[in-house]
Structure 1
Amino acid sequence: MNTFKVKIITKSPLQLGYGKAGIVIDTDVVHDRYGMPYFPAKRFKGLLYESALEMAEIFSERIFTKNDIDKLFGQSEDGYSRLYISNFYLKNYEKMYSDWQYLNNKYREFFTTQSILDLYTDIRYQTTIDKETGTTVDGSLHNMRIIDAGVEFYSEITLEEDSEVNQKILVMALKILRFAGSKRNRGCGKIACILINEKDLPRQLFKEVI
């Protein structure tokens, strides 16, 4: 078993859709009870899986196979995942959570979920254009909350079976994972994934990856 620290950096605004929408916001972003956005582990794992499949296809399964990937991600017949991912949170999240909790309880009128969320996000408006007339479609004005570019999220990924092939899958999938969330055709969703403790991996592995 081996655990790796991973950082996600938003290189452009990021729209991580939230199941609940408010009266003012049509599409919100995932956030905790105090307004700090985070990147859900389940969503990231799905993106990482797709990224790994793309790499296997590019190299015609010479480095690792789809079966290797399915086994790692729990998509094989036994349904047992050899890879575990925690939610990605802001740096120093636990300390900030405690601070925001204190301020929210003591000065509730000033430190609200909305005011904290505004520190990391912005609101973007968009409309639908009628292709025939070139004018805005009535009633099509829509707004969405987006996470600002430059926000960093941190988490850990654990390989329960720390084999060489699993290390290769993880490293290569992280290296090429460049987009997440929705509205990518509108300039959103560009990210970079950095393996913080990649120095702990064998040098030979990175030579083969490169």
Structure 2
Amino acid sequence: MRTLVIQARERGEVPARPLSILVAWYDAAMGFTGEMTVLPMSADGTAELEIRGEAAGYRHVRFIAFAGDAAPVPPPGLRIDTDQFSSVRTLPFDDPLEAATSDEALTWQFVYSNILATYDAIAPRMSTIIDLADEDAVRTFARRLKEVTAAELFESRRYMPVTRDLSCGKRELLHRFCDLALAASPPKEGVAADGLDSAHETPEPAAGERLPGAPVGEPFDKRALS
């Protein structure tokens, strides 16, 4: 569940008159679903909406501020050029996949094909720190992989993946694989496996290889800011 804070402004200022916010839901095709509710606006011009991810898919929520007791009727369609709205994407939870996968079936090939391959493709620079396609590297970094993908770090800049799209079920599968790897081969003394969340230095590219406008001598960090 997430709490969405809605701000209402009139000519850039907090409304002086009492207003309410009509919240209307639209489906992926931007058609009105018939679901709506009215939220009271607080003195600071905000209202809070609790959003729950109940099923995978896309939907949109439109906001209409109004005065008085009579709520406006939401239009049948959503206009992306003029309407005030937010889009909500709910990813699959993958709980059935996790529940149906035994430890015996939790092989390296299964974990790479179903979990790591996506991030190996969209974040190739990650291979300079840990090659997600390398079974030995992933097993070596098993402890750190568990730490940086922990659910309690979700709002932290340290959380991985930075795209925040690793489902609960796949996170649990990855953690189980890491536990099995650690049980089979505990980290050897003197083997460093802490680089996954530390600054990683790369050689400064030659002048002719730098992108236009790229700062010189500054480390590249693609992680989300806190």
TM-score, normalized by length of structure 1?
0.25
TM-score, normalized by length of structure 2?
0.23
Which structure has more RCO (C-alpha within 8 Å, separation ≥ 6)?
Answer: 1
Highest Rg: 1 or 2? 2
